[in-house]
């Protein structure tokens, strides 16, 4: 069976790739196991040097790589360049800070009857990463950079519609000087993931994707007693209170909902607006969403490109066509490609699927609330808990929001995003574990206690 790279702007197949045969997969797993045995003995200085070399190489190829991202999954060229730059920054961050994250941590040996007691961080082996298409480089990089810095070996099973990005990741690390087979891309179908995860040569897994995919991987990992980090769906609340600057809040609301063509787990999706400012917010928000330019993602003037897949657009249309009031957008344009316009909805009720699920496209749901407490009740009633946003200048409201919102991340007067410097992850059905920062590196380290007697 072939894996195809299809341009969502035209719907045309750009390139086809063959899946690994059973023998080829076995060979790659054997090579990964061998590489793990030697790579764990490399110095942190060498690993940091290879990460810096990868950052320099990626930066030198940024324009070509950004163009590849656009033609493979449809985000705007501007957004693709930003994604590449974030990957470069992530590589350099772990090259700079990784050695300190991996230093031994001294404990109080005397209190435990030891001459010395300390914690050391050691690699665990080969880590399988099951990654999505929406941020095809950054999603994979935020696993790869800390994992490789920690001395682990990476196995990337990327989404089937971004094979060129997946293969580029393997080439990047190889050409940067990492030892052979330390990072490999596995062109395999989703049905083969269980086989790879059950293989004793694979130590752990990380998955970013849908809730059903996360449930499947977590089930297998649980049976095999293997560590797994899950970053699943999100339907982030974006709460707007009267004390905020509405012009700025609506500017950011538009970005929060349409970033990556609306295809990000941390997009603001549910907008809870206080009744005192609801009319003004909605008027500004609808006008700004309606003014966005939908078009060729390679055109610098374009704000929103096509959705990544035809099935994804069908899913969005199915959500929108279920009774809500459409204030702007809501109809696919008559043109080639998988485009869908920025859309604002009101009148959403609990009987509608979108009330409980994640709409993966540029569709905003607006709810009018009478208080912050009501907004938090509504926000927390959703099964997901990834990111969250509050717009307020009131310190008491900010404190209440941080204390009570059920999410892994809480952003005030800004929209949820990821940075190498701070932890990323969710609660409830948005998954568990953390990526990025020192926590992301230690997720796939053996935190070993060492006790030394007199």
User: How does pLDDT run across 82-112, given as a tens digit for each residue?
Assistant: 999 999 999 999 999 999 999 999 999 999 9
Pick the catalytic residue: 265, 358, 435, 443? 265
Q: pTM value?
A: 0.96
Per residue in 182-194, pLDDT (tens digit) is: 999 999 999 999 9
> Would you list the DSSP string of 172-198?
HHHHTTPPTTSEEE----GGGHHHHHH
pLDDT mean across residues, the chain: 97
What are phi and psi for residue 282, nearest 5 degrees? -60, -45
Look up residue 317 and give its two tokens: 């249309």
Catalytic site includes residue 397 = no
Per residue in 406-422, pLDDT (tens digit) is: 999 999 999 999 999 99
Pick the catalytic residue: 72, 83, 165, 231? 231
Catalytic site includes residue 300 = no
Counting Cα atoms < 13 Å in the Cβ hemisphere of 350 gives 4
Look up residue 407 and give its two tokens: 């999410």
With contact defined as beta carbons under 8 Å apart, do 407 and 426 qualify?
Answer: yes
First and final CA of the chain: distance in angstroms? 62
Percent of the chain scored above 70 by pLDDT? 100
Q: What is the pLDDT of residue 454?
A: 80
74: confidence class by pLDDT, cuts 50, 70, 90 = very high
3-class DSSP assignment, residue 403: helix
């Amino acid at each position: 069976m072939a894996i195809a790279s299809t341009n969502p702007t035209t719907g045309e197949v750009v390139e086809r790739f063959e899946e690994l045969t059973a023998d080829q997969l076995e060979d790659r797993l054997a090579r990964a196991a061998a590489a793990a045995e030697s790579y764990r003995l490399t110095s942190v200085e060498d690993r940091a040097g290879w990460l810096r070399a990868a950052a320099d190489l990626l930066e030198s190829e940024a324009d070509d790589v950004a163009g590849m991202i656009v033609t493979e999954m449809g985000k705007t060229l501007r957004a693709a360049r930003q994604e590449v730059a974030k990957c470069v920054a992530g590589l350099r961050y772990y090259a700079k800070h990784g050695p300190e994250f991996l230093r031994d941590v001294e404990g109080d040996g005397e209190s435990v009857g030891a001459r010395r007691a300390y914690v050391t961080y050691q690699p665990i082996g080969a880590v399988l990463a099951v990654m999505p298409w929406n941020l095809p480089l950054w999603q994979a990089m935020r696993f790869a950079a800390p994992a490789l810095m920690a001395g682990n070996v990476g196995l990337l099973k990327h989404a089937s519609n971004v094979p060129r990005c997946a293969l580029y990741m393997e080439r990047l690390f190889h050409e940067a000087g990492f030892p052979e087979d330390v990072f490999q891309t596995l062109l395999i179908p989703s049905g083969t993931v269980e086989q790879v995860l059950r293989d004793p040569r694979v130590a752990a897994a990380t998955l970013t994707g849908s809730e059903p995919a996360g449930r499947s991987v977590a089930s297998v990992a649980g049976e095999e007693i293997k560590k797994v980090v899950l970053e699943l769906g999100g339907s982030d609340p974006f709460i707007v209170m009267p004390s905020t600057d509405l012009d700025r809040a609506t500017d950011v609301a538009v970005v929060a909902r349409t970033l990556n063509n609306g295809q990000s787990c941390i997009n603001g999706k549910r907008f809870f607006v206080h009744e005192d400012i609801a009319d003004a917010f909605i008027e500004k928000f609808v006008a700004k969403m309606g003014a966005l330019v939908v078009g060729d993602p390679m055109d610098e003037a374009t704000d929103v490109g096509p959705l990544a897949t035809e099935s994804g657009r069908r899913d969005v249309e199915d959500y929108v066509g279920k009774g809500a009031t459409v204030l702007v957008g809501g109809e696919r344009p008559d043109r080639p490609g998988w485009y869908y316009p920025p859309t604002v909805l009101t009148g959403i009720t609990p009987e509608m699927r979108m009330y409980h699920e994640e709409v993966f496209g540029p569709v905003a749901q607006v709810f009018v609330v009478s208080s912050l407490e009501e907004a938090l009740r509504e926000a927390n009633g959703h099964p997901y808990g990834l990111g969250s946003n509050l717009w307020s200048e009131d310190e008491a409201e900010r404190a209440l929001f941080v204390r009570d919102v059920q999410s892994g991340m809480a952003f005030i007067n800004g929209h949820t995003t990821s940075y190498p410097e701070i932890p990323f992850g969710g609660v409830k059905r948005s998954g568990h574990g953390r990526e990025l920062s020192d926590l992301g590196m230690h997720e796939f380290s053996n935190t070993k206690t060492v006790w030394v007697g007199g």
